[in-house]
């Protein structure tokens, strides 16, 4: 660190230097919170399917047990994959799309993303419908902020999937 | 107005010429005597967000009408390729000195 740099930094205490941004952005950055919302729907759907699965009773045959185990394993696998997809998509929005200006306008954003990531981990680890519902709610809230930063209003409506949960969509101009 | 202003650099599109955390001293009067020329490092008012400043390099000049600016780190820079030429009155000045972090 040079002496002049230290001097400039000391001056900042008296009167902060304005910032000149060597602004970074891959031109036409393509981001959309819908991937995260979709993954949250899948997690809910997998938990519904797991809960609907008939558990083998004490008199079940080995074939019935095997069929149960195979179905359960598949649902759990997909649930975990999609909880991870939701986390990855949220990290991309958080790390790459959202900028300090957005956090100034939506001060709740950082905490919201952080909590939603934690919820996604819980939905991944457990067969916990409430955690999956909270994950969808978190992704909806983040989608709502995302579309506002794009200057678009949102509508909240029933999703056209078997999960049929309330979902935030942009109202395209 | 004092002819030299100090700015702190953020973001990475001008690496390695300018690193985040560097300071630059900007000569506000540089273009009173001669027009900007390609290669100059300049601080401009962001055409997209008028409350903030950008530091970029002049890549092309259009006489009295303006300049094109680009980041040295083209792969990640947001610049005239996105927002078009920058009018001369938006130029704050020319980078005169880099205070390396």
Residue A77 is part of a domain; what is its CATH number?
Answer: 1.20.120.400
Q: Which range marks the domain in which residue A133 is found? A: 34-54+62-170
pLDDT at residue number B40: 96
Total domains in the fold of chain A: 1
Residue B100 is classified by DSSP as -
Q: Nearest chain B residue to A28 by CA: give it.
A: B82
A111 touching B, CB under 8 A?
no
Could you tell me if B7 lies within 8 Å of chain A, comparing CB atoms?
Answer: yes
Residue B77 is given by DSSP the state B
Is the residue at A21 inside a domain? no
Asked if A19 lies within 8 A of B53 by C-beta distance, the reply is: yes
Distance in Å, alpha carbon of B47 to nearest chain A alpha carbon? 12
User: Rounded to a whole number, what is the distance in angstroms from the first to the last CA of chain B?
Assistant: 27
Determine whether the interchain pair B15/A8 forms a contact, defined as Cβ–Cβ distance below 8 Å: no
Q: Is residue A4 part of a domain?
A: no
Q: Mean per-residue pLDDT for A163-170?
A: 96
pTM of the model: 0.58
Inspect the interface and report whether the beta carbons of A23 and B77 lie closer than 8 Å: yes
Report the pLDDT averaged over residues A10-20: 90
Percent of chain B with pLDDT strictly greater than 70: 99
pLDDT at A134 over 70: yes
Cβ distance A25 to B78 less than 8 Å, yes or no, reads yes
User: What pLDDT is stored for residue A28 in this prediction?
Assistant: 43
pLDDT at B44 over 90: yes
CB contact under 8 A, B46 and A27: no
Q: Residue B82: is its pLDDT beyond 90?
A: no
Q: Does residue A141 belong to any structural domain of this protein?
A: yes
Residue ranges making up the domain that contains B44: 4-99
Q: Which residue has the higher pLDDT, A28 or B95?
A: B95
- Domain holding B92: CATH number? 2.10.109.10
**Total count of domains within chain B:** 1
pLDDT digits (tens, 9 = 90+) for A24-44: 664 446 789 999 999 999 999
Tell me the CB-side half-sphere exposure of residue A125, using CA atoms within 13 A: 6
Q: Does A99 touch chain B (CB under 8 A)?
A: no
Which CB contacts under 8 angstroms, 24+ apart, belong to A87-90? Answer: A87/A117, A87/A120, A87/A121, A87/A124, A89/A33, A89/A35, A89/A36, A89/A39, A90/A36, A90/A116, A90/A117, A90/A120, A90/A139, A90/A142
The angle formed by the CA atoms of residues B65, B70 and B74, to the nearest 5 degrees, is 160
The β-bridge relationship of strands B53-61 and A19-21 is: parallel
Task: Indicate whether B67 pLDDT > 90.
Answer: yes
Task: Name the pLDDT band for B45 (thresholds 50, 70, 90).
Answer: very high
A-chain CB neighbours of B24 within 8 Å are 20
């Amino acid at each position: 660190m040079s002496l002049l740099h230290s001097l400039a930094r000391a001056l900042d205490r008296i009167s902060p230097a304005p910032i000149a941004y060597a602004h970074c952005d891959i031109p036409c950055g393509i981001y959309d919170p819908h991937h995260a919302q979709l993954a949250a729907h899948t997690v809910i759907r997998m938990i519904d399917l797991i809960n609907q699965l008939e558990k083998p009773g004490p008199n079940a045959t080995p074939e019935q047990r095997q069929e149960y185990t195979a179905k359960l394993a598949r649902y759990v696998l997909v649930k975990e994959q999609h909880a991870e997809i939701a986390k990855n998509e949220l990290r991309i929005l958080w790390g790459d799309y959202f900028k300090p200006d957005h956090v100034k306008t939506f001060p709740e954003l950082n905490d919201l993303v952080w909590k939603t990531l934690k919820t996604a981990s819980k939905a991944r680890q457990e067969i916990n419908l409430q955690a999956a519902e909270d994950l969808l709610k978190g992704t909806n809230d983040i989608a709502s902020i995302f579309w506002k930063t794009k200057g678009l209003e949102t509508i909240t409506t029933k999703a056209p999937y078997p999960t049929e949960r309330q979902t935030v969509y942009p109202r395209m101009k | 107005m004092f002819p030299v202003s100090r700015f702190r650099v953020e973001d990475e599109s001008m690496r390695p010429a300018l690193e985040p955390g560097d300071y630059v001293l900007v000569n506000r009067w540089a273009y009173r005597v001669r027009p900007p020329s390609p290669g100059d490092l300049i601080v401009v008012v962001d055409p997209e967000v008028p409350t903030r400043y950008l530091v970029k390099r002049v890549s092309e000049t259009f006489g009295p009408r303006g300049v094109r600016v680009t980041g040295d780190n083209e792969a990640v820079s947001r610049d005239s390729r996105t927002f078009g030429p920058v009018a001369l009155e938006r130029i704050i000045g020319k980078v005169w000195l880099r205070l390396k972090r």
